[in-house]
Amino acid sequence: MAKNKAESNIDYAKPKPRAQRLPGMDEPKVAKLESLAHEYADIRDQRIALSVNEGSLKADIMEEMKRLKKEHYKRDGVEITLVHEKENVKVKIKPTSEEADDEEGEAS
């Protein structure tokens, strides 16, 4: 059987060259990647806003502890310790016995 000229010129072993990205061209859109990036940015922005609020509240606690001339405060699961070396406060909230009973009731 004779081959057509068109068929004989096809070389199946060599892949066709892919188009190269030109400088300045945008990447092709990847919807999932863009969606994840936007979601991450939203969460990051919320975290930064919370960090600002946290710093402000921490300063208020430190100011109040100094005003009351207290080094340590502990009551009903709330524990605050003034740390002088770092001009900082440590705040811990532990569930009270009532809160622990409520959480156990919800879990059942």
- Is pLDDT at 9 greater than 90 in this prediction? no
Q: What is the pTM of this model?
A: 0.51
Residue 81 structure tokens: 């310790």
Mean pLDDT of the chain: 78
Residue type (1 letter), 102:
D
Cβ-count burial of 89 within 10 angstroms (0-12 exposed, 13-18 middle, 19+ buried)? Answer: buried
Q: What is the pLDDT of residue 29?
A: 74
Backbone angles phi, psi at 44, to 5 degrees: -60, -45
Q: What is the pLDDT of residue 83?
A: 87
- First-to-last alpha carbon distance for the chain, in angstroms, is 81
Give the tens place of pLDDT for each residue, 48-96: 989 989 989 999 999 999 999 999 999 999 999 998 877 787 788 888 7
Distance CA 65, CA 83 (A): 11
Cβ-count burial of 65 within 10 angstroms (0-12 exposed, 13-18 middle, 19+ buried)? Answer: middle
What is the enclosing helix (H) or strand (E) of 91? strand 88-93
